[in-house]
Structure 1
Amino acid sequence: MESDRTEPSTPGSAPIHRRFLVQSENPRTYWVGLMGALRPGTGGTGHLRCTLLARSGTFSAGGFFFDYRPWVLACAGVAGLSALFWLPLVRGITRSIAQLTRATRQIADGQFDVRVDDQRTDELGQLGASINRMSTRLEGFVSGQKRSLGDIAHELCSPLARLQMSVGILEQNATPEQKAHIEDLREEVQHMSDLVNELLSISKASLKPGNIKREVVNVKTVADHAAEREAANKGEVIVEVPADLTCFARPELLQRALSNLVRNALRYAGEFGPITITARREGDACIILVTDLGPGVPPEHLDRIFDAFYRTDPDRARNTGGAGLGLAIVKTCIEACGGTATARNRETRGLEVRLTLPLQ
């Protein structure tokens, strides 16, 4: 119940003593009352008290008790003006944040040539400029590292070639007792030569896609060649690729990537079952899958198996694996062709490496 009092403003007028609002239940009804006094006619004395009542089933009574429409319109107008002035600002901020998020995700994936808009004059613009500087420096560091590896590997080629030739001459003139030791030496030199060749492969494939001449490549031809070359007397490799499926890549780089994948799968999972190479068209991309039936890779290592010199087994003994460059070469070759390389453990068992390449 609500009420208020109002006193008369001039002498002799009929005062209004009180206004009130009452709510009753069963059924719910709203009552508005106006208590006042009526002035008597001529010759009368005193004022006649009266109460005016109005009843409604709703609080507003169609605007008679309370008209909410002006308030609704006012709130809508305020909200509309706020949206008109603030929406462009909010959209600009969210657009900048989304761009920064995409850029940092690409940098985390190794795409250091990404750049963001740093023309804003606020903190987001400063953050964008910092991201651009960071990506430029990271690109320089990584390029310098790959260039150094290539230079070192190139400089080692000539001494290793002379060393191999010397070992061959020494083996020809060695006694039967000495040949066993010379054979061990020859294997060590060959291992060094293979390592240097892998470093050269990474260096050559590290060129940007724009600097590599790509062409339409028949995927089945390359897959058959890789399987035939790597599976000789080492295990079974099954190729299930449509004969007319093509992709846009550098044939030598795609061949090297598939050969390394098959060789790596045969080394770690060849004893568990066949290695399978499949491929299909998916939208505007060509998807190549190399799967095995081995134990897979521990989940904590999946994000790093494509890093150079990274191995899940910290033991660097030769009988437990290579130098950790095989999958790094795969990623470098595929990225040089404008594609991506990822890996995941299969739900049943085994590892699946997915190569995504453009169709044109």
Structure 2
Amino acid sequence: MRTLEAALVLAVLAAAAALWWRQRTAAKLVVELKRLEEARREFVANVSHELRTPLASIKAYAETLSMGGLDDAANRAGFVREIEAAADRMAHLVDDLLSLAALESGRRPPVFEPLTLGTLAAEVAASLMPLAARKSIVLRVEPFHGVPQVRADRELLKRVLTNLLDNAIKYTGERGLVRLGAESEGDRVSVWVADDGPGIPPEALPRVFERFYRVDKARSRELGGTGLGLSIVKHIVEAHGGSVSAESVVGTGSTFRVTLPAAV
């Protein structure tokens, strides 16, 4: 009899434990679903806002042209340039959104191959020299001597370096300095981009890799930023088994560092 009672007690306890676990799991699931829904709403709101700004510009200039702006050749040319610039901002935003969606969903997995970082760095820097020259910025690629190869997707890693250098050039003042370098750290390789721009406030630094986060929203839009570039960098680097970090001192400059596994 006692054996039967003990078995019943154990069965009840086991059922209670299972019920508690299911309730706990369900509660966690509800919390996660709420978090995802909030993230979705925030994402939709951000995208809507980012698209609304250039659309409003296009509409305003088009209305001005339709109300007589076509009569003045100088005004006409200026309005057309503004419409083209707004359309370019929209296209850039859509491209970044599609890239980010492909990375987050896993539809664009890396295709790994051995890469010599010095060669890729020189190629990316050369493509951005004209952008730097327009602001008389010195864009310097430090020697990559002794830096081992990495196994990476060439196009994706090129996107990482391009985004980091492009950001550095945009936010560095006239006659500034932007440097790109790398160093070996045991079985890993660290690639960095440093600038002598305005720097990032300490309270903003932990958020710079978030989607649509901007330290200076007005200036970022003025410079053509979408607020997605660093988030794309983070996703690409993590898909390679690496990490990305940022250090900054206000008034001195910023350094963004990408760490990747060295090729075996």
Q: Tell me how far apart the structure 1 counterparts of residues 79 and 117 of structure 2 sit (CA, whole Å).
A: 44
| Closer, same or farther: CA 327–138 of 1 in aligned 2, 3 Å | farther
Cα distance, 1:295 vs structure 2: 2.5
Aligned residues of 2:190 and 2:260 also touching (Cα < 8 A) = yes
Q: Which residue of structure 1 lines up, in the alignment, with residue 216 of structure 2?
A: 313
**Greater Rg over alpha carbons, structure:** 1
Matched, 1:289 2:187: no
CA distance in 1 between counterparts of 2:23 and 2:245 reads 30
- Using the alignment, how far apart are the partners of 1:358 and 1:128 within structure 2? 38
How far residue 315 of structure 1 moved from its aligned partner, in angstroms, is: 3.2
For residues 260 and 144 of structure 1, do their structure 2 counterparts lie closer, same or farther at Cα, with a shift above 3 Å needed? same
For residue 172 of structure 2, the aligned residue among 269, 275, 291 is 269
Give the letter aligned to residue 196 of structure 1: V
- Pick closer, same or farther for the CA change 1:358–1:320 going to 2, 3 Å: same
* Residue matched to 1:239: 141
Which residue pairs with 1:217 in the alignment? 115
Distance 1:250 1:143 in 2: 29
1:338 aligns with 2:236: no
| Correspondence list, 1:111-126, <5 A | none
Q: How does 1:87-236 map to 2 (within 5 A)?
A: 133=29, 137=33, 176-177=73-74, 178-208=76-106, 211-232=109-130, 233-234=133-134, 235-236=137-138
8 Å Cα contact 1:316/1:323 also seen in 2: no
Contact kept, 8 Å, 1:285 with 1:356, in 2: the verdict is yes
User: Are 1:329 and 2:227 counterparts?
Assistant: no
Aligned partners of 1:216 and 1:246 also within 8 Å = yes
The range that moved more, 258-267 or 320-329, is 320-329
* Structure 2: distance between partners of 1:185 and 1:210: 32
Shifted more, 294-303 versus 326-335: the winner is 326-335
TM-score normalised by structure 2 residue count:
0.67
Shift of 1:352: 1.0
Q: 1:282 to 1:244 in 2, by over 3 A?
A: closer
Distance 1:248 1:143 in 2: 33
1:253 aligned to 156, 170, 179, which one? Answer: 156
SS in structure 1 of the partner of residue 258 of structure 2: strand
Superposed displacement of residue 203, structure 1: 2.0
TM-score, with length taken from structure 1: 0.51
Kept in 2, the 8 Å contact 1:206–1:333? The answer is no
Question: Which letter maps to 2:159?
Answer: R
Tell me, what secondary structure is at the counterpart of 2:218? coil
Q: Which has the higher helix share?
A: 2
**Does the C-alpha gap of structure 1 residues 352 and 280 become closer, same or farther in structure 2, counting only changes over 3 Å?**
same
How far the C-alpha of 1:183 sits from its partner, in A, is 2.1
Kindly indicate whether the alpha-carbon contact (under 8 Å) linking 1:236 and 1:270 is maintained by their aligned counterparts in 2: no
Find the aligned partners of 2:242 and 2:234 in 1 and give their Cα distance. Answer: 9
Matched to 1:194, the amino acid is H
Q: 1:302 aligns with which of 186, 205, 208?
A: 205
User: Which is worse superposed, 257-266 or 228-237?
Assistant: 228-237
Taking a change above 3 Å as real, the CA distance of residues 179 and 221 of structure 1, as seen in their structure-2 partners, is same
**SS of 1:277's equivalent?**
strand
Secondary structure of the corresponding residue to residue 172 of structure 2:
helix
Q: Contact 1:293–1:350 at 8 Å: present in 2 too?
A: yes
Query: Does the 8 Å CA contact 2:201/2:250 hold for their aligned counterparts?
Result: no
Q: Deviations over 1:153-205 (max 9, x none)?
A: 9xx9xxx9xx9xxx9xxxxxx77353332222112111211121121222233
Letter in 1 for 2:114: V
Change (3 A) 1:262 1:179: same
SS of match in other structure, 2:174? helix
SS of the residue corresponding to residue 300 of structure 1 reads coil
The count of corresponding residues between Structure 1 and Structure 2 is 221
- Match of 1:284, as an amino acid? D
Letter in 2 for 1:323: T
Structure 1 distance, partners of 2:207, 2:145, is 31
In 2, Cα distance between equivalents of 1:358 and 1:314:
34
Query: Deviations 1:17-46 (Å, cap 9, x if unpaired)?
Result: xxxxxxxxxxxxxxxxxxxxxxxxxxxxxx
Q: Tell me: CA distance 1:358–1:193, structure 2 relative to 1, closer, same or farther (3 Å).
A: same
